């Protein structure tokens, strides 16, 4: 069973999908009929678990929870300019049983649709976007990745495959969003929401280099330069990494241009 409302502290520490928040108990229970209100006033039948640091854990999108919490604090929806995840935020509002928040998001969605419907589709032109019909802006994007090659164990030295830890994206924010769409992870960028600037802090939600290259090609980008660090000569070996694997660590960057 869930804890009683009186058992919760006045200041509640949350771990929402790996993102930490601290707020008043009164904020979480402001909408009494919402899922959060039921969870933290003791009326929910769902057991609330804590992580290893004693924070109450909620298995939902931690970044979008910021806007849910802001709505509970101010009782109104305030989103940054050029916010691109309204559909996902509406899913969060529905999950937390906040109909007023969901309604506010729904009202703002048709505005985007009506704008796109006024743009006539234009096809068969390399200088135009097949999605929006707008002219493609000349731009550069740099992809970087740190990788290695993993070798088979027990004498299977000929068994090897490429391992990428992360694909880093550098470029103008609006262009990066245009190219990589929902595969772009902006969680490490402190200025999310502003698109007319440059960043070197984006990375992709996947580690498939070929998928990233396909997305760039679809948006009219061509490779114009690249560089690589070669392979490591066995320096410090991280825990859990094979010594032979560490020999093949490398870092590569690729520069793409759209004219």
Mean pLDDT for 73-82 is: 85
Which pLDDT tens digit goes with each residue over 203-227?
Answer: 999 989 899 999 999 999 999 999 9
Tokens 């000569």 sit on residue: 233
Q: What are the structural domain ranges in the chain? A: 5-116, 139-258
Which pLDDT tens digit goes with each residue over 21-30?
Answer: 999 999 999 9
44 burial via Cβ count (<10 Å: 0-12, 13-18, 19+): middle
Judge contact between 214 and 167, C-beta under 8 A. Answer: no
> How far apart (Å, rounded) are the C-alpha atoms in residues 82 and 99?
23
What is the rounded end-to-end Cα distance, in angstroms, of the chain? Answer: 61
Q: What pLDDT is recorded for position 162?
A: 73
Which pLDDT tens digit goes with each residue over 145-203?
Answer: 988 876 655 545 555 667 788 999 999 999 999 999 989 988 887 777 677 889 998 99
Q: How confident is the model at residue 240 (pLDDT cuts 50, 70, 90)?
A: low
72 burial via Cβ count (<10 Å: 0-12, 13-18, 19+): buried
> How far apart (Å, rounded) are the C-alpha atoms in residues 4 and 2?
6
Q: What pLDDT is recorded for position 234?
A: 55
Q: What pLDDT is recorded for position 123?
A: 43
Q: How confident is the model at residue 116 (pLDDT cuts 50, 70, 90)?
A: very low
5-116: what CATH class? alpha beta
Distance of CA 154 to the CA centre of its chain: 38
Mean pLDDT for 99-103 is: 92
**Rounded to two decimals, what is the model's pTM?**
0.46
């Amino acid at each position: 069973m869930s804890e009683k409302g009186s058992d919760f502290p006045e200041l509640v520490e949350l771990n929402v999908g790996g993102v930490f928040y601290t707020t008043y108990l009164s904020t979480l229970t402001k909408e009494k009929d919402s899922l959060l209100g039921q969870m933290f006033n003791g009326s929910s039948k769902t057991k609330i678990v804590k992580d290893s640091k004693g924070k109450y854990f909620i298995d939902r999108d931690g970044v979008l929870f910021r806007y849910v919490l802001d709505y509970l604090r101010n009782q109104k929806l305030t989103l940054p300019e050029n916010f691109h995840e309204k559909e996902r935020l509406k899913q969060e509002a529905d999950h937390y049983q906040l109909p007023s928040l969901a309604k506010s998001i729904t009202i703002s969605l048709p505005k985007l649709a009506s704008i796109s419907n006024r743009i006539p589709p234009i096809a068969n032109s390399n200088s135009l976007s097949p999605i929006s019909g707008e002219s493609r802006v000349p731009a550069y994007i740099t992809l970087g990745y740190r990788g290695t090659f993993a070798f088979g164990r027990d004498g299977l030295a000929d068994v090897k495959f490429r391992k990428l830890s992360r694909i880093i994206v550098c470029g103008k924010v609006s262009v990066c969003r245009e190219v990589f769409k929902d595969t772009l992870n902006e969680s490490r960028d402190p200025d999310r929401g502003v698109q007319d600037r440059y960043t070197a802090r984006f990375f992709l939600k996947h580690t498939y280099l070929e998928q990233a290259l396909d997305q760039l090609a679809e948006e009219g980008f061509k490779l114009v330069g690249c560089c690589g660090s070669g392979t490591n000569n066995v320096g410090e070996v991280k825990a859990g990494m094979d010594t032979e694997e560490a020999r093949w660590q490398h870092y590569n960057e690729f520069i793409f241009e759209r004219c």
